[in-house]
Structure 1
Amino acid sequence: MGDDTWEGVSSQRVKVEPEVLSYPGQTVNLRCAFTDATGIQLTMVTWIYEPKDGERINIAVFHPKFEPNYPLSPVKGRVGFSPSPPNMANPSIEISNVRMNDEGKYICEYATYPIGNEQGITYLVMLAKPQNSASIVTVEAGSKPVVVARCESVDGRPAAKISWVTTASGNATTVSKTGADNTETISSEYSMIPTAADNGKDLSCVVAHRTQVKPESFPLKLAVQCKTPSTRHGSMNYFAVYTLMGKHAPLVTIVGYDNNWYVGRTNVMLTCQATGNPPPTTTQWKTMSGEKPDTVQITDNVLKVLKVDDAVNTTFVCEVKNRIGVGKDKVTVVVREPSVNPSNAGVVAGAVIGSLLALLLVAALIAVLVTRSRRQQQGYRANGGGDMKTRMFGGGKKASKNGTGGGAGTGGGAGGNNNGPIYVYDENSSHQGLGEKNNHHQPLTTGGRPEGAATTPTAQDILLSNELDDVERRKFDELEEDERYDQFTGGAPILQLRPPHDQDDMIGDYMDDDMESQRDGSVISRTAVYV
């Protein structure tokens, strides 16, 4: 690093660069030349290194009649003539992978005849960019000087310069400490006697360094708190009076963040709520990053985000001031991914499936009702057809061929005549209902009516007829084909039903006398023909 224009003392004939800057790890070029060799014999060139605190040492020697030589030195193995091979008119050198300890004087010395030795000196300055920072110290108002702010420049080369800019009255104290590889750490503290009037005043730390294009500034604000009341010796200071009067700095709270700020959400707000005595005078919104997102609008104590995006993923700070001091609160916003809406296809599919299930349920219910209705109608249908339809309850599969069992009403023996009730449905009757014909052996029916009187069947009788129909049908379905045939051709009695148009009910009386109830609940005819 250096300027293309070489500088040097006018009386000297050896031309060099007065200063070369470099960072650790770089390669530096130290140039040297003899400006006017007229009438002078150039015998030899020697490069000498002189540390800041140390003795001179040869690091490179060139003689036209010999090979270049590099004596033992801190730069041996990293130094060489450039260009190579060298010449007496331009014996420049290069040092690779320079270190902080390589800083110092580098002397290019010519041995000449007859004027003797001539030399030029170059200063190699090693640079290291420091890490700068500043912080405020919160203090209580008092009557003694205290440190109110600190500023530091760490591991710089050369040492940085720190200065303070403020309207507050105080003094700065700066100390330096040498670190590894000859780096310098500069620390500065600003001290003053704090008062209530100093609270909130501007205070800036300015760090200047050769590696920076311009000085770096750290703006701060003094933080001075009031003391607690003191009545010692019967007196009370100014700050105690303020405290007793209820005076205090603003108490600040940020509300409005619900921890659900997702990308694309619009019109979300943060509100800075503050109370103080005296009342707050100013409200200021800031971010920890120092930059306000483009989608943020601020109106007084309200911060509004028009549309949430990744730029809002930061920490918002609200500062409120009054004459006593400054109060602040902060909230860290975490921007989340937008929630996923359920698929419309899934909703439609669910609705279709639900509708199908409902239709199937309705169809099943209708089928059950239709089947039950048909069975009820079959329960009242007569076996022979015509004007009169008769339904008898309690028929068994087998009956005794002996129609004259025990006497009427005895109920004894297999052939006893129990003569159960016969229900007759007369379509031509004006009552349009079922009639009950009791056995002439029984003087009264269950209801106490005379023999032969027609009675309306109860709901229990109708339900019983349906149940008996179902039982007989199931028994019939379980029979094999041959057994079914036998049921109609052999063994079973042929029931003689009452013919239609029996005007005088003569045959009806015959049927009542001819039918005989059995022990198993069946009814058979005494005059039936058996095959």
Structure 2
Amino acid sequence: MAPNGSLPSPVLLLLLLLLPPLLRAAPQTPRVSVSPVVSGLLGTDVQLPCHLAPGEVEVQVSQVTWLCDNQRRDRSSIAVFHPTHGAGFPSTGPGAERLAFVSQSQSPGSKFHDASLIIRDLRAEDEANYTCEFATFPGGNSKGTTWLRILAEPENHAEAHEVTSGPAPIAVATCVSSGGRPPARISWSPPSVGRSNESRTAGPVPDTFTVTSCLTLIPTAQMNKKKVICRVEHETLREPKQLPVLLTVKYAPEVSISSSDEDWLLGQQEASLDCAAQSHPPPLAYRWSTASGSLPPTAVSEGSKLVVSSVDWSANATFICQVTNAVGTGWASRTIRVRGERGPRGSRGRTEAEGTLGPPPRADSWDP
């Protein structure tokens, strides 16, 4: 060190002159702002944002390049912008007819900090990684990458199949989501209603998918007109699509017999029995008979109704109603006991009614 009052040495002066440049921070690399993931619908246009973020040091853009990294082809340059020469699109897929810079209409020589790219008429093969790279001076190169996902909204419908009741499981409804990308997700509610079988095939447009779900269950009479819901979920839908379906199960008549009066009295006028049948399709014919075969002389069959004009001891019988539809035949019986004096050898009784199911007896009276 120089003595007090003496001038600094030449070496010290040189160090003092070089110190500011050494302490000055090196130019920072500019930051490129992009969206990590962008989704676009098949056949529509999409914009891939890319901006050069402002920094502490002003930089000059030398060139902007967009690169496409697609699994189906090698990484390639698809779009270039030069501040002096303007935009160029060296790739054929997608090419100049489907590409454009958002800011490419600005005059040559102006600052170019917005390199957002438009891709028109999206196709499935456009799904890829797209890298936006700025070449700047003196900051060097900076880049950001966006994954472009191509989506397609599916068309959805559901329908019931008319089936016949039986012991074996069968498909009772089908739900189809056609032309989606990616494939839609289908479920049925209530979940306990049956079992679903799902298949996936190619959609009507290349690189789309059609998903078909069949609801399978054991068809019973109780399942007829039961409402189930096909639920379709897809990324393009704001909320799941709910498709209601009314099941259609054909079944043979389920029959019951009711009486106009709880008790029938000897000599009573206009006693009757009503035969009710639940079935799909509707009943075609009603047949009335008794366990012994023939109807009492005073009984008249009027379709689903049996009218006894005057109650006598012949009405003390088991009446049978047999109902037929296109699926099969069902029947029920009801026992009537006439209450009244039979005579010296008779006894008092009361009406008792009951319904049973079993092999249909011989029908005595037939009414369509």
* TM score, norm. by length of structure 2: 0.52
Structure 2 counterpart of 1:16, which letter?
A: V
Please tell me the residue identity of whatever aligns with 1:224: V
Whole-angstrom CA distance in 2 between matches of 1:69 and 1:278? 86
CA drift of 1:150 comes to 0.5
Partner of 2:333: none
Aligned to 1:164: 188
SS of the residue corresponding to residue 176 of structure 2 reads strand
Q: 1:43 to 1:167 in 2, by over 3 A?
A: closer
| Structure 2: tracts of 5 or more residues without a match | 1-28, 255-274, 284-302, 306-320, 324-368
Equivalent position of 2:217 in the other structure: 192
Name the counterpart of 1:131: 155
8 Å Cα contact 2:250/2:280 also seen in 1:
no
Q: Where in structure 1 are there 5+ consecutive unaligned residues?
A: 1-10, 229-238, 240-244, 254-273, 280-531
The one-letter code sitting in structure 1 at the alignment partner of 2:100 is: G
After TM superposition, give the deviation of residue 15 of structure 1 in Å. 0.7
Match of 1:98 in 2: 122
Number of residue pairs matched by the alignment = 236
Counterparts of 2:148 and 2:126, CA distance in 1: 8
What is the CA–CA distance in structure 2 between the aligned matches of 1:104 and 1:198, rounded to whole Å? 48
Q: Hey, what's the Cα distance between the residues in 2 that align with 1:136 and 1:198? A: 12
**Residues 26 and 201 of structure 1: CA distance in aligned 2, closer, same or farther (over 3 Å):** closer
Larger radius of gyration: 1
Q: 1-side partners of 2:131 and 2:70: how far apart?
A: 11
Counterpart in 2 of 1:154? 178
Listed as ranges, the matches of 1:104-143 within 5 Å are: 104-111=128-135, 117-143=141-167
Are residues 188 and 89 of structure 1, via their aligned partners in 2, closer, same or farther at CA, if it must alter by over 3 Å?
same
AA aligned to 1:249 is: S
Asked whether the equivalents of residues 251 and 279 of structure 2 are also in contact (C-alpha less than 8 Å), the reply is no
- Taking the aligned partners of 1:65 and 1:167, their CA distance within structure 2 comes to 64
What is the DSSP-based 3-state SS (H/G/I as helix, E as strand, rest coil) of the residue aligned with 1:101?
Answer: helix
Whether the aligned pair in 2 keeps the contact of 1:167 and 1:203 (CA below 8 Å) is no
> Could you list the per-position Cα deviations for residues 223-271 of structure 1 after superposition, in whole angstroms to 9, with x for gaps in the alignment?
333479xxxxxxxxxx9xxxxx996505559xxxxxxxxxxxxxxxxxx
**Cα distance in 2 between the residues matched to 1:246 and 1:192:** 28
- Partner SS, residue 74 of structure 2: coil
Change (3 A) 1:66 1:139: same
CA contact (8 A) 1:167 1:201 kept: no
Rounded Cα–Cα distance in structure 1 between residues aligned with 2:249 and 2:229: 16
Distance in 1, Cα, partners of 2:176 & 2:251? 28
1:68 aligns to what SS in structure 2? strand
Alignment partner, residue 341 of structure 2: none
**Structure 2 residue aligned with 1:249:** 279
Pairing 1:202–2:227 present = yes
Matched, 1:33 2:51: yes
More helix by share: 1
Whether 2:182 is the aligned partner of 1:182: answer no
Matches of 1:55 and 1:158, distance apart in 2: 24
Structure-1 separation of matches of 2:304 and 2:37: 61
Judge conservation of contact 1:32–1:91 (CA < 8 Å) in 2.
Answer: yes
**CA contact under 8 A between 1:140 and 1:227: conserved in structure 2?**
no
SS in 2 for 1:90: coil
**Quick one: structure 1 residues 72 and 160, their matched pair in 2 at CA, closer, same or farther if it must change by over 3 Å?**
same
How does the TM-score come out when normalised to structure 1?
Answer: 0.38
Tell me which of the two structures has the higher relative contact order, counting C-alpha pairs closer than 8 angstroms and 6 or more residues apart: 2
Contact 2:30 2:139 in 1 (8 A): no
The answer as to whether partners of 1:171 and 1:192 remain within 8 angstroms in 2 is yes
Q: Please give the alpha-carbon distance, in whole angstroms, between the structure 2 residues aligned to 1:82 and 1:101.
A: 22
**Does the CA-based 8 Å contact 1:251-1:275 persist in structure 2?**
no
| Matches of 2:128 and 2:147, distance apart in 1 | 6
Per the TM alignment, residue 25 of structure 1 is displaced from its structure 2 partner at its CA by 4.6
RMSD over aligned Cα atoms: 4.0
SS of the residue corresponding to residue 148 of structure 1 reads: strand
Letter in 1 for 2:94: V
Structure number with higher strand proportion: 2
